[in-house]
Amino acid sequence: MGRCRGGLFGVALLATTIGFAARAQPRQVNGVLGGSVLLSPLLPPNKTVTEIEWSFSAGATVVVAGFGPGGFERPDPKDRFKERLEMFNATALKIRALERGDSGVYGARIKLHPALVEDQSFNLSVYEPLPEPGIRSWLLSKSPAWCHLLLECHLPSGTGGTVAWMRGWGEPGGVRVRALCGGVLQVGVQPGSPNTTFTCRAWRALEERRRSIHLASICWNGGDGVRPGRWTVVAAGMLLAAYAARLEFPKVPPWHRHQ
């Protein structure tokens, strides 16, 4: 029993230590230009908050808001935040209509009854809205039986999002798919396949965008592909060569740019 108590004490001590460490390190919060974020401190159980002082640091540190017996207060209502700050509840600070300059570290000095003080901080990063993902397509070969394409799903450099391909619902017959790397697929489609819609999904912490492409229209209706640049074609060709031995599709003939 002694060992059990000792083990339980160790687990409790570890949990407490982790809790303190989590509060000591700034918590990452991401926001989007024009949107809003909520900065919500982690509070110990069964404790009453008497006051909270909020500060903002992007170089110099300034007090931007406070909540106490007198309610919500703004030391300088004409600062960069103006009317964009509000108390969401008795402890959380809400920032509306986010601007690029709102990125920085926000500190919360929390006074608890009867005489405890706890400091927590949040590192806010404000991003441009996630753009719609781009789709590039190349027609590799076409015959009465099969149409072979290369598809790429991508975001502009520096966007910081993740991309992935999604298949539409329906029968998978008549479509072969091989993922090469990143957002690149090699696809084979037979005429009359029941489901040839592919969707490029892009996402980031708070956002998601999607864009679809219909392979049948590219293969048999003069399509909606994107003209690749010279070096993109060269890179794609090298990529295909590296995977050629492992692909289920026939050898790829000379490249054809898809308009």
Nearest to 237 by CA among 98, 138, 132: 138
The pLDDT value given to residue 255: 36
Identify whether the C-beta of residue 198 lies closer than 8 Å to the C-beta of residue 212: yes
Q: What is the mean pLDDT of residues 190-213?
A: 88
Same domain? For 57 and 122 the reply is yes
- The edge-to-edge listing of strands for the beta sheet with 27-32 is 27-32, 116-127, 104-112, 49-57, 61-68, 71-73
Same domain? For 143 and 228 the reply is yes
* Residue 8, domain member (yes or no): no
Q: In this prediction, what percent of the chain has a pLDDT beyond 90?
A: 44
- The edge-to-edge listing of strands for the beta sheet with 147-154 is 134-142, 147-154, 184-189, 175-181
Identify whether the C-beta of residue 135 lies closer than 8 Å to the C-beta of residue 211: yes
Same domain? For 143 and 232 the reply is yes
Same domain? For 189 and 141 the reply is yes
Domain stops at, among 72, 93, 127? 127
Identify whether the C-beta of residue 239 lies closer than 8 Å to the C-beta of residue 184: yes
The pLDDT value given to residue 115: 84
CATH of the domain at 151: 2.60.40
Q: What is the mean pLDDT of residues 169-181?
A: 77
10 Å Cβ neighbour count for 72? 14
- For the segment 110-160, what is each residue's pLDDT rounded down to a tens digit? 999 888 899 999 999 998 888 999 999 999 998 888 999 999 999 988 777
* Residue 251, domain member (yes or no): no
Same domain? For 190 and 138 the reply is yes
* Residue 1, domain member (yes or no): no
Identify whether the C-beta of residue 229 lies closer than 8 Å to the C-beta of residue 152: no
* Residue 57, domain member (yes or no): yes
Range of the domain at 173: 134-246
Domain stops at, among 101, 127, 153? 127
More confident residue, 172 or 32: 32
Kindly indicate the confidence band of residue 243, based on its pLDDT and cuts at 50, 70 and 90: very low
Domains of the chain: total: 2
Domain stops at, among 91, 108, 127? 127
Q: In angstroms, how far is CA 188 from the centroid of its own chain?
A: 30
Kindly indicate the confidence band of residue 172, based on its pLDDT and cuts at 50, 70 and 90: low
Most confident of 49-53, 159-163, 237-241, 254-258: 49-53
